[in-house]
Amino acid sequence: MRIVVASGKGGTGKTTVATSLARVAAERDRVRFLDCDVEAPNAALFLHPVLDSHREVGIRVPRVDADACTYCGRCAEVCQFNAIAVVGQKTLVFDDLCHGCGSCTWNCPEQAISEQLAVTGVIDSGQTAEGIAFAQGVMNVGQTMGVPILRELKQWTAAPPPVGHDLRGRALEIRDAPPGASCPVVETMRGADFVLLVTEPTPFGLHDLKQVVAIARELGLPAGVVINRDGIGDDAVAAYCAESDLPILLRIPMERRIAEAIASGQPLVEAEPRYRPEFQTLLEHIVAGVNA
């Protein structure tokens, strides 16, 4: 079962909730954690995995064989992104504009184009002390497109446990989504079973929550809400949830102690163990909701 933790507005405590959920789940289940916020991956700061594997990923960009090219211009004509151009007796490729779609390669009448990996990021993976299989995508600075990294990340498979290892519990995947409500969020939710939305009770939180709810609905995914920093702001988020049939599954009050613990990199359930049963209940609600 795959659970996405998303928020719309950044900084609402998405990673706090995702990492605490993972910690609690790992007590009984087999957990795999994907940090899908490739522009600002932070979950590792809380889960402290040992990341012993690093794989460079990117997109396949065209390389033109100057001896075979006749400068016919067909590649430039089919490219929708102006990433390849014929200038006099030269065919130029602009890697930064290329989407790696392959169209120029297939359409070159001389088969003068081959493809090369242009690295845009890396997938780091490993395990935490609690046995959580962990992977994160990290986009390189100066790169523009995170979605290809995200696609690779979703396909990551952890090394299988040693033979004879007790395969107890359920297989759970937790994905920490990027902020916002554009296509990386869609890509994170694709193929998931449940969307847990973390918001704060302010006009910004509400506005951005509605955007992500629209995506979850479009993809037909069940969703529930966690209200973080409960007590600041107003009641508009709760009213919206009630009228939109979105269950509020957990409220975490605004407390300075919690803010301080999280600032220093402690998972919420570790800093405040009284939240462990609350997260256990949250997890069971999610699982029951999906299987209902």
Partner 1 sequence: MKQLVILSGKGGTGKTSVTAAFAHLASQGPFADRILLADADVDAANLELVLQPRRLDTRPFSGGQVAVIDADICMTCGDCESVCRFDAIAEMDGRFVVDPIACDGCAACVYQCPAEGIHMEEQTVGEVAVSESRYGPLHHAHLYPGQENSGKLVTQVKERARQQALDESRQLVLVDGPPGIGCPVIAAVSGADLALLVTEPTVSGIHDLRRALQTVQHFGVPALVCINKADVYPKGAQDIEADCLANGINAIGQIPFDLSIASAMVAGEAVTAYRPDAPASLALTALWERVVTCLIAPDATPDT
What whole-number distance in Å separates Cα of residue 277 and Cα of residue 208?
29
CB 141 within 8 A of CB 170: no
Residues engaged in binding ligand SF4 (CB under 6 A): 62, 64, 69-75, 78-79, 81, 83-84, 86, 91, 98-104, 108, 110, 112-113
Q: Which does 204 bind (CB under 5 to 8 A by kind): partner 1, ligand SF4, none?
A: partner 1
Provide, rounded to whole angstroms, the least separation between the CB of residue 129 and ligand SF4: 41
CB 9 within 8 A of CB 180: no
Provide, rounded to whole angstroms, the least separation between the CB of residue 77 and ligand SF4: 8
> What sign results for the dihedral spanned by CA atoms 235, 239, 244, 246?
positive
Q: Which does 208 bind (CB under 5 to 8 A by kind): ligand SF4, partner 1, none?
A: partner 1
Site for partner 1 in 217-236 (CB under 8 A): 218, 232-234
**Nearest alpha-carbon partner for 204 in 177, 175, 179, 186:** 179
Q: Which does 62 bind (CB under 5 to 8 A by kind): ligand SF4, partner 1, none?
A: ligand SF4
Beta strands in the chain (DSSP E): 2-6, 30-35, 50-64, 84-87, 90-93, 113-127, 133-139, 171-176, 194-199, 223-230, 248-253
CB 201 within 8 A of CB 230: yes
Q: Which does 75 bind (CB under 5 to 8 A by kind): ligand SF4, partner 1, none?
A: ligand SF4
Neighbouring-strand partners of residue 135:
34, 125
Counting contacts by CB under 8 A, is residue 215 touching partner 1? Answer: yes
Provide, rounded to whole angstroms, the least separation between the CB of residue 103 and partner 1: 4
Site for partner 1 in 173-212 (CB under 8 A): 178-183, 185-186, 190, 202-204, 207-208, 211-212
Query: 11 — alpha (psi -120 to 50), left (phi > 0) or beta?
Result: left
Beta strands in 20-110 (DSSP E): 30-35, 50-64, 84-87, 90-93
| 27 vs 260, beta carbon nearer partner 1 | 260
Site for partner 1 in 8-67 (CB under 8 A): 8-12, 15, 39-40, 42, 45-46
Using CB under 8 A, count the residues that bind partner 1: 59
Instruction: Give me the 97-136 binding string for partner 1, x by CB under 8 A, dash otherwise.
Output: --xxxxx--xx-----------------------------
163 DSSP 8-state letter = T
| 133 vs 145, beta carbon nearer ligand SF4 | 145
